[in-house]
Structures are given as structure tokens and as C-alpha cells.
Amino acid sequence: MRAALERLGPGEYLLGTGPATAGIVPLDTKNVVLGRPPTVLEGPPRDRADCCAVDTLYFVPREISRTHAKVVRQTGSFGVRHVLIDLNSTCGTFVNEMPVDPHGTGVILGHGDIVSLGPSQTSTYVYYKVRPAGFGHRGAKESHPSRARPRWSRQVG
């Protein structure tokens, strides 16, 4: 994993850390929808996820909805930030084990935040930022994700 992280260019990423979410998802577009592909028993999807986690063992989805959550890229005087929005998923979306309100405005993600699709913490991502070279300490990554502290007051207002 370290070798892959060292090759990432400046930007923001979701690092898949669960068995169904392996991989690196660049967050360089306006919206990234997280979800899963339909099972063979489900009809064609009305909406499609940009990034699919596969938790459909035995043809039955466990915790991930087809369009589960969305990461929205926002730019403004604050720079660039990403907001995680639950798309009325069946089992919920969590940031650092705290539920994201499906009727709310979302949660601003910070480096090292743990995003979970469902409550079991098995379909998870880590929000990871790589700064441009020469920006801050040692010019590259922010603090190690495992040292991140939970943040409870980052609802978008």
C-alpha cells in the first residue's frame, strides 16, 4: 500500500480498505457516486454508481445500496473540499462511525476520515489528501490516516 500511496499525484482520493472496496478512487470530478452493481435477480439500475463495491455474495446485497452515497467536490474561497452525502441508502452511511443524515446537507470530509457504506465497517474507504510538492511539511502527504481524530461538527450548513 505504501508504494501505491507514494505514486499518487496531488489531489484527494478514497482508499478502499474493506474486502468489497479495494482500490483507489480519485476524487477529481465534481461528483463520485458510491454504490454496487445490481445482482442478477434485480432489474437494470435506474441510476448507476461511478465506483462500485461488490458485497453481493450469494446474489443477496448485504449493506450497500446500488446508489448509496455521493462525494461532491466543492470549490470556493475555502479552496477545495469534499462533502459526503447519503443517498437514502438502506443501511446508512457513516463517517468515523457517526451516521450521515440522509436528509441533511452532508459531512465535510477531512484527511484520514473513515467512510463506511453500512454499519458493519466492512465496506470502508479512507479519505486521503496529497498536497502539491513544496506545500507544508516534507511537501507531500498529510498526517497518516490511522492517526486521524474523529470530527463531530462538520455538517455542511
Counting residues of the chain whose pLDDT is more than 70, the rounded percentage is: 75
pLDDT in tens, 84-105: 999 999 999 999 999 999 999 9
Candidates 115, 149, 120, 122; CA nearest to 14 is 115
Is the pLDDT assigned to residue 152 strictly greater than 50?
no
pTM: 0.79
Angle 140-2-78 from CA coordinates, rounded to 5° = 35
Contact between residue 35 and residue 68 where contact means Cβ atoms under 8 Å apart: yes
- At 83, the pLDDT band (50, 70, 90 cuts) reads very high
Residue 35 pLDDT: 86
Please report, for the chain, the start and end positions of each structural domain, with discontinuous segments joined by +.
2-141
Is the pLDDT assigned to residue 135 strictly greater than 80?
no
Total residues belonging to the chain: 157
How many Å is the maximal CA-CA distance in the chain?
52
Is the pLDDT assigned to residue 149 strictly greater than 60?
no
CATH fold, domain 2-141, is Tumour Suppressor Smad4 (2.60.200)
